[in-house]
C-alpha cells in the first residue's frame, strides 16, 4: 500500500498598482502538476516541441506554468537512469519560461489548447526572465503481480537474473504470477496463496504446480505461451493443474517480462525574478508518470 501525503505551501505574491497600492496575492496550489506537449512553428517553418508543466486553481482562477524544450536531455527527466537524478535548467524567458497568471474563468481548457476557448482570458501575466528550475526524478519499480514488493525485494525464485519484484513470472513456468492467485482475497497476506498440489509451495513459486512430474512450462501442448488453453481430452482443467495428465511438450514460446516504473518528477524553482514574488524559492509541485519496461 502506498500512502500519499499532500503538502500545501503558501506562497505570497505582492504587486504594486499604478496608484501605489500594494496587493497581496495568495497562491495556494495543490502541487499536483499536469503536463502537456506544445508544438509550435517558427517563421522559417521549422517546428519546435516543448513540455509544459502547470498547476491551476479555481478560487481565484490562477495558474503556474513552466515551459521547457523537448530534447533528448529533458526527456530523461521522465525516465532517469539513476534514482534521484537532478537536472537544472536556467529560465531565460525564451525557450524556458515560467509564468504566474490569473484569468476571468477556468484556465484548464486554455493552457494547452491549440484553439483557446473564447470565453476565458488572461487578466494578469507575470513572466520570469531568469531563475533556475531543478527537476528531481525518482522512481519505484513494481511488477504489480499481486505480491507486495516488500515480500519480493531480495529474491529471484527462478534464477533468471530478474528480481522477483520486477518479474511477472516469479517461478519461470510461463504462467504469470498474478494468474497463479498469490493473494486470493487481496489482503496482503500470502498464507492463503493458491497451492494446487498441496505441497506447501504456492503455485506462483512452484515450477510443477500439479506435482505430476512434468514441469509446468512443458505442459503447453499447443506451444502458444498460454497454458490455460491446453486441456486434455476428458478433462476440464488445464494440463498444468491436472495431475492426471503429465505429457511433456517442447517449449515453443517464452513470454517476455515487463514491469512498471512509477516516476515522480519534483520541481523546485529558485531565484525567480518576478517582481511580485516574495520568496527565494518555490516548490512548484510533482508530476507522476508510469512507464512499462
pLDDT digits (tens, 9 = 90+) for 176-223: 999 999 999 999 999 999 999 999 999 999 999 999 999 999 999 999
Question: pLDDT by residue (tens digit) across 13-64?
Answer: 444 433 333 334 556 899 999 999 998 777 777 788 999 999 999 989 999 9
Same domain? 55 vs 75: yes
Same domain? 133 vs 28: yes
Cell of 41: 512553428
Q: Which of 148, 145, 169, 174 is nearest to 157 (CA)?
A: 169
Same domain? 131 vs 194: no
Same domain? 272 vs 254: no
Q: CA distances (Å), 280 to each of 88, 153, 263, in order?
A: 16, 40, 27
Same domain? 40 vs 104: yes
Note whether 168 and 177 are within 8 A (CB).
yes
Same domain? 278 vs 253: no
Residue numbers of the domain that contains 187: 144-258
Task: Quote the CA–CA distance of 123 and 119 in Å, as a whole number.
Answer: 12
Total domain count, the chain:
2
In a domain, residue 247? The reply is yes
Q: Which of 32, 28, 115 is nearest to 289 (CA)?
A: 32
In a domain, residue 5? The reply is no
Amino acid at each position: 500500500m502506498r500512502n500519499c501525503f499532500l503538502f500545501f505551501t503558501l506562497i505570497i505574491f505582492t504587486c504594486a498598482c499604478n496608484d501605489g497600492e500594494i496587493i497581496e496575492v495568495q497562491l495556494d496550489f495543490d502541487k499536483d502538476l499536469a503536463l502537456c506537449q506544445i508544438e509550435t512553428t517558427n517563421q522559417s517553418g521549422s517546428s519546435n516541441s516543448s513540455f509544459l508543466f502547470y498547476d491551476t486553481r479555481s478560487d481565484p482562477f490562477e495558474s503556474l506554468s513552466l515551459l521547457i524544450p523537448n530534447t533528448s536531455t529533458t526527456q530523461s527527466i521522465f525516465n532517469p537512469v539513476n534514482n534521484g537524478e537532478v537536472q537544472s535548467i536556467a529560465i531565460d524567458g525564451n525557450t524556458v519560461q515560467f509564468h504566474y497568471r490569473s484569468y476571468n474563468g477556468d484556465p484548464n481548457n486554455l493552457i494547452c489548447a491549440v484553439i483557446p476557448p473564447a470565453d476565458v482570458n488572461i487578466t494578469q501575466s507575470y513572466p520570469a526572465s531568469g531563475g533556475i528550475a531543478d527537476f528531481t526524478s525518482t522512481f519505484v519499480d513494481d511488477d504489480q503481480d499481486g505480491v507486495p514488493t516488500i515480500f519480493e525485494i531480495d529474491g529471484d525464485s527462478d534464477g533468471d537474473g530478474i528480481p522477483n519484484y520486477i518479474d511477472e513470472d516469479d517461478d519461470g513456468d510461463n504462467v504469470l504470477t498474478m494468474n497463479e492467485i498469490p493473494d486470493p482475497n487481496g489482503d496482503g497476506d500470502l498464507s492463503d496463496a493458491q497451492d494446487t498440489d498441496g505441497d506447501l509451495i504456492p503455485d506462483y513459486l512452484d515450477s510443477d504446480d500439479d506435482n505430476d512430474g512434468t514441469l509446468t512450462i512443458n505442459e503447453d501442448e499447443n506451444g502458444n505461451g498460454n497454458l490455460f488453453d491446453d486441456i486434455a481430452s476428458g478433462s476440464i482443467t488445464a494440463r498444468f493443474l491436472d495431475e492426471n495428465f503429465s505429457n511433456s511438450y517442447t517449449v515453443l514460446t517464452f513470454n517476455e517480462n515487463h514491469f512498471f516504473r512509477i516516476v515522480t518528477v519534483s520541481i523546485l524553482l529558485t531565484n525567480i525574478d518576478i517582481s511580485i514574488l516574495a520568496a527565494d524559492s518555490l516548490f512548484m509541485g510533482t508530476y507522476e508518470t508510469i512507464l512499462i519496461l
